Amino acid sequence: MHRLRNVCGAGLLAVLLGCSSTPNNYHTLVPSEPMRDGGQRIQVERVTVPPQVDRPQLVVRQGQSGLAILETEWWGANLVDEFRSALQDQLGGPVGGGKALLRVDVQRFDSVPGRYASLEAVWRLTRSGEAELTCRISLQAPADNSIASLVNAHQANLRKLAEAVRESARQGSCARPA
């Protein structure tokens, strides 16, 4: 019996030591310094993203058809909430000059380590008393092989999306990203 207790105690210790895990790293699409202007207030009403990437963990492409869920690399929230918060942060401004409502349907949100982060979306801008404006955007920013670089590239894409939305709100027509 004493021998069995020692074996069980040693086995439990091995299991506990073997279960130590790598800590999670958390990332955000919200830049530390948003680029706002004093123009029209644009409220992000809704964002949709492809279900393959709408999760708390970062998802990256592997090869031509593979996806990898990075179990220790997490967004601060599910991707749809993270995207919406970041975009609203970029578009926020003083209330005045009317308000526009924005809906964004993300069609692609690719993270390719060592290559790029890409964003393809259709967005709709509605201002009271005016016809809805529907625009399409396709963006790609280079990224190195680090997660921080991929996140920074996605932040750059979101910044360009916000710039295009603001410019379109000013012009009343779809603007091309700079």
Could you read off the pLDDT of 20-57 as tens digits, one per residue?
578 999 999 998 876 666 567 899 999 999 999 999 99
pTM: 0.82
Question: Does residue 50 lie in a domain region?
Answer: yes
pLDDT at 113 > cutoff 90: yes
Write the CATH number for 72. 3.40.50.10610
Report pLDDT for 36.
60
Q: Rounded distance, CA 83 to CA 22, Å?
A: 26
Question: Does residue 11 lie in a domain region?
Answer: no
* pLDDT tens digits for range 76-104: 999 999 999 999 999 875 444 568 999 99
Question: Does residue 14 lie in a domain region?
Answer: no
Report pLDDT for 16.
46
Q: What is the mean pLDDT of the chain?
A: 85
Can you give the residue range of the structural domain that contains 53?
A: 25-171
Question: Does residue 29 lie in a domain region?
Answer: yes
* pLDDT tens digits for range 136-149: 999 999 999 999 99
Average of pLDDT values for 57-67?
94
Question: Does residue 6 lie in a domain region?
Answer: no
**Residues 111 and 61: beta-carbon distance below 8 Å:** yes
Amino acid found at 146: S
Number of domains in the chain: 1
Using DSSP's 3-state secondary structure scheme, residue 145 falls into coil
CB atoms within 10 A of CB 136: 11
Average of pLDDT values for 103-111?
97
